[in-house]
Amino acid sequence: MKYYTSILIFFLTVTAVLAQQTSDYNRFRQAAEAGNRQAQFNLGLCYLSGNGVEADTVKTVYWWRQAAVQDFPPAQFNLGFCYARGMGVKRNDNQAAYWYEKAAEQGYARAQNSLGDCLFNGYGVEKNLPQAFLWYQKAAEQGVALAQYQLGLCYDKGLGTAKNDRLKIYWYAKAANQGNELARYNLANCFYKGDGVKANPAQALRLYRLAAEQGYARAQNLLGNCYAEGKGTLKSSSQAVLWWTKAAEQGIASAQYKLGRSYETGEGVYKDLRQAIFWWEKSAAQGHAEAALMLGGYYYQGIVVEKNLQRAIAWWHRSAEAGNMSAQCNLGYCYEYGEGAEINLTQAVHWYRRAAAQGSEEAKKQLEKLKIDN
């Protein structure tokens, strides 16, 4: 009996909610058709969410446009967003910027931030960093966290305004206190490096953790570094691996490389050379020079993978071209002695010279042996 009673209560509750939604829709529709801009905006929301009516983004855009032409800032902002995302209408950055500006000029904070983004990136308008800065400032002063972050970035990098360490910290902190993960990450970097503020590894760790727990991959990577190095906390290889794994799974190449090294050495995780290879391949595919160097070494020696000198050379080429001194020296050796490639002294000298220019003593010795000037 209790089961059937629960079902009945649930059914009646759902019915009541649906009835209320239908009532809201009918009320908004009547007022909207009479020209009420707030009702037109609300009716657009009903079509967006399917509140009392079947969801239809095309009709959402229609009703928001009716309100927008009556200078209703929330509708103007939302209409701009639809154009920016191609939601219910064909994407049009010019129209997005147009409607953002309409709302921004009326003091609508979110539109001011979005207009700043358009001017900052050149979306729908000519790129103009000083103007972007001014709109970010207006939105930031009204408490928009994204704008506060962008304002901090402008002061940090000198974008549209002069660099100012005090103000970059001020605005990063404002945005970070509202939970903006980008601001938390940048502010953590400042505390980690002592950039614009006294170095404070513990504070950096706290901010990296907050951003990392929000899923921000770059923060997860650097939080792993903190645990690996014992910066702001006790060293913990297992915690380093935990956070590098999270960052690696989101595609951070340096985290993939470090995770591979952890699997190679067994620090913080069970030793597993196949997993090391797996993560180095992902990292090297993104151009990480050290990961490509390691892969070349494993294929050269035939560790875990079948020995393949051609693949070793291919990976070392990637690493060497990215500037890795050890890979350059290795390539010189392969071309000098014909390992995995035909003997080619011109190529050997080329790579030895590049390695020697970076200070490789081994490369200098090989050049001396070949009676070649560095």
Q: What is the pLDDT of residues 208-240, one digit of tens each?
A: 999 999 999 999 999 999 999 999 999 999 999
What are the tens digits of pLDDT across the range 117-136? 999 999 999 999 999 999 99
Which among 356, 351, 355 is positioned nearest to 341, based on CA atoms? 351
Model pLDDT, residue 25 = 87
Q: Say how far apart CA 59 and CA 80 lie, in whole Å.
A: 15
Q: What angle do CA 145, 233, 282 make, to 5 degrees?
A: 70
| Domain that includes residue 88, residue range | 34-107
Phi-psi region of 51 (alpha: psi -120 to 50; beta: other; left: phi over 0): beta
Q: Say how far apart CA 285 and CA 247 lie, in whole Å.
A: 16
Model pLDDT, residue 374 = 62
Q: Please, what is the average pLDDT of the chain?
A: 93
Model pLDDT, residue 51 = 87
- Confidence band of 2 (pLDDT split at 50, 70, 90): very low
Model pLDDT, residue 10 = 34
Is 172 inside a domain boundary? no
92-100 CB contacts, 8 Å cutoff, 24+ apart: 92/124, 93/118, 93/123, 93/124, 94/124, 94/125, 95/124, 96/123, 96/124, 97/123, 97/124, 97/125, 98/124, 99/68, 100/76
Is 94 inside a domain boundary? yes
Is 131 inside a domain boundary? no
What are the tens digits of pLDDT across the range 97-118? 999 999 999 999 999 999 999 9
Contact 154, 164 (CB under 8 A): no
Is 230 inside a domain boundary? no
Is 7 inside a domain boundary? no
Average pLDDT of the residues in 151-169: 98
C-alpha dihedral sign at 3, 4, 7, 13: negative
Is 93 inside a domain boundary? yes
The pTM of the full predicted model, rounded to 2 decimals, is 0.88
Burial of 372 (0-12, 13-18, 19+ CB in 10 A): middle
Model pLDDT, residue 21 = 62
- Confidence band of 13 (pLDDT split at 50, 70, 90): very low
Domains of the chain: total:
1
* Better-predicted residue by pLDDT, 110 or 9: 110
Residue type, 181: E
Model pLDDT, residue 6 = 41
Alpha helix stretches (DSSP H) within 122-252: 129-141, 145-157, 165-177, 181-193, 201-213, 217-229, 237-249
3-state helix, strand, coil in the chain (%, to 5): 75, 0, 25
Burial of 14 (0-12, 13-18, 19+ CB in 10 A): exposed
What are the tens digits of pLDDT across the range 304-335? 999 999 999 999 999 999 999 999 999 999 99
φ, ψ (nearest 5 deg) of residue 108: -75, 115
CATH code (residue 65):
1.25.40.10
Is 285 inside a domain boundary? no
Is 175 inside a domain boundary? no
